[in-house]
């Protein structure tokens, strides 16, 4: 079995600790069994490793998330990046083509597609195992996970089983209802409908045939080059709602969408994360501080206070779902980014310069950085390594060194020890 994790998002729902380069699934605020904190995607990949150790994971994502995925997951997963943002159907088509053409998986290989950020228990992954078995047994061409609803919500899509199927371990599907009214949702639940959990299982050949209706490519490289020819449509609309043979398996364990601050707050490890103090830990307020500055809250109640290089949020928990409408009015350029080699944090901006604190891990390389639109000055704060500048060769770096990069030059830093530096772009 192969698992494809879908990773997208614009980073607005948990602002300011999420941004365009670090969507909510990469925010490290959940308690980790090993101590400290972990992100939603780290938690899911850890759970897959614990429950299905022989299962290979591929992440389907955009180019903007490549660095943070490598930073958080290392080399333990395969990554397939979209050349352009489209929708879940083309993203899944590209990822399954990667499995077929680059990993040489057979048409009978069972593929499970799921979100990268559900907050759930290990029973969720046991259900995925049963979905895979249902596909192997030809119970249906497409098998879904249905979340047993706990209330009538207009925020979710619903999977409607055929009459007489309710209660069976594998139920044939009658159809779908997308985000109904609360009254309609209550009626659907009474008839046995389930929340659509966004988890799909199928044989690789099934998806290859559907993709082949739009494109015949001789290689994965060609498939990726012609990616724009695939229709910009969701997997639900293009595949699930058109499927002739479709079944659903119910899951009744812990399942939550931690998509807003008020839902995430219940899972945070205490009232403070980072350099913060709350005068009354029982006040219902929670503070997440990634700014590097001390943060003090006195006499607050039922608030989310979040600070990062991207900004500061002070919000009543009951109003956190309105966050996106206000974040849309703010500058979208991220001030903190993670990469496979380290991180960058903007510490100051002015009309003439942007000052950034850069951390590079031991034995890492930044890859080529191009200064086509600016010159910059690098001041090494700590660590050792070298910088290769196009046309100038290799220069040894150590604490106190100052390097000027002229506009139009490209450079690449390689470290022998962990390095910190200040970069001033002029």
3-state secondary structure labels for all residues of 223-263: HHHCHHHCCCCCHHHHCHHHCCCEEEEEECCCEECCCCHHH
Query: In this structure, are 311 and 347 located in the same domain?
Result: no
Query: In this structure, are 62 and 140 located in the same domain?
Result: yes
Q: Which helix (H) or strand (E) holds 358?
A: strand 354-360
Query: In this structure, are 276 and 347 located in the same domain?
Result: no
Residue 11 has pLDDT above 80, yes or no: no
Query: In this structure, are 139 and 288 located in the same domain?
Result: no
Cβ pair 387, 402 in contact under 8 A: no
**pLDDT, tens digit (0-9, with 9 covering 90-100), for 200-254:** 999 999 999 999 999 999 999 999 999 999 999 999 999 999 999 999 999 999 9
Residue 214, token pair as written in the block: 């739009």
Distance CA 250, CA 197 (A): 10
CATH code where residue 352 lies: 2.60.120.10
Query: In this structure, are 301 and 347 located in the same domain?
Result: no
Q: Containing domain of residue 63, as a range? A: 2-256
Cβ pair 21, 35 in contact under 8 A: no
Per-residue confidence (pLDDT) for residue 64, from 0 to 100: 85
Query: In this structure, are 293 and 376 located in the same domain?
Result: no
Per-residue confidence (pLDDT) for residue 153, from 0 to 100: 87
Query: In this structure, are 49 and 197 located in the same domain?
Result: yes
Query: In this structure, are 193 and 289 located in the same domain?
Result: no
Task: Look at the chain and report how many structural domains it folds into.
Answer: 3
State pTM to two decimals: 0.88
Is 334 within the bounds of a domain?
no
Query: In this structure, are 205 and 57 located in the same domain?
Result: yes
Is 262 within the bounds of a domain?
no
Number of C-beta neighbours around residue 209 at 10 A: 12
Query: In this structure, are 301 and 217 located in the same domain?
Result: no
Cβ pair 418, 361 in contact under 8 A: yes
Distance CA 27, CA 38 (A): 8
Tell me the percentage of the chain whose pLDDT exceeds 90: 76
**pLDDT, tens digit (0-9, with 9 covering 90-100), for 86-130:** 999 999 999 999 999 999 999 999 999 999 999 999 999 999 999
Q: Is the peptide bond before 277 cis (omega within 30 degrees of 0)?
A: no
């Amino acid at each position: 079995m192969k698992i494809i994790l879908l990773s997208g998002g614009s980073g607005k729902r948990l602002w300011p600790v999420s941004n365009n380069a670090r969507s909510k699934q990469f925010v490290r605020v959940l308690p980790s069994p090993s101590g400290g904190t972990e992100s939603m995607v780290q938690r899911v990949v850890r759970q897959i490793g614990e429950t299905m150790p022989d299962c290979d994971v591929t992440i389907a994502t955009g180019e903007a998330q490549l660095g943070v995925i490598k930073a958080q997951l290392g080399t333990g997963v395969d990554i397939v990046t979209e050349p352009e943002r489209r929708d879940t159907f083309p993203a899944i088509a590209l990822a399954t083509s990667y499995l077929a053409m680059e990993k040489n998986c057979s048409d009978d290989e069972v593929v499970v597609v799921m979100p990268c950020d559900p907050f759930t228990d290990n029973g969720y992954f046991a259900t995925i195992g049963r979905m895979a078995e249902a596909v192997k047994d030809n119970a249906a061409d497409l098998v879904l996970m249905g979340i047993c609803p706990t209330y009538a919500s207009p925020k979710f899509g619903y999977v409607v089983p055929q009459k007489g199927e309710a209660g069976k371990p594998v139920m044939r599907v009658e159809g779908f209802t997308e985000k109904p009214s609360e009254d309609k949702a209550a009626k659907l639940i009474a008839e046995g409908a389930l929340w659509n959990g966004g988890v799909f299982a199928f044989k690789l050949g099934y998806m290859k045939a559907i993709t082949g209706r739009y494109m015949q490519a001789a290689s994965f490289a060609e498939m990726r080059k012609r990616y724009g020819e695939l229709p910009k449509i969701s997997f639900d609309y293009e595949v699930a709602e058109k499927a002739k043979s479709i079944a659903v398996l119910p899951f009744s364990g812990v399942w939550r969408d931690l998509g807003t601050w008020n839902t995430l707050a219940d899972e945070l490890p205490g009232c403070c994360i980072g350099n913060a103090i709350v005068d009354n830990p029982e006040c219902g307020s929670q503070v997440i501080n990634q700014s590097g500055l001390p943060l003090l809250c006195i006499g607050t109640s039922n608030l989310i206070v979040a600070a990062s290089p991207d900004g500061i949020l002070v919000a009543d928990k009951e109003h956190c779902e309105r966050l996106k409408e206000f974040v849309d009015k703010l500058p979208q350029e991220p001030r903190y980014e993670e990469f496979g080699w380290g991180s960058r944090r903007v510490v100051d901006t002015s009309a003439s310069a942007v000052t950034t604190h850069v951390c590079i891990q031991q034995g890492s390389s930044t890859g080529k950085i191009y200064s086509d639109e600016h010159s910059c000055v690098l001041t090494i704060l700590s660590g050792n390594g070298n910088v290769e500048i196009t046309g100038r060769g290799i220069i040894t770096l150590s604490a106190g060194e100052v390097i000027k990069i002229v506009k139009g030059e490209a450079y690449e830093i390689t470290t022998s020890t962990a390095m910190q530096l200040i970069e001033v772009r002029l």
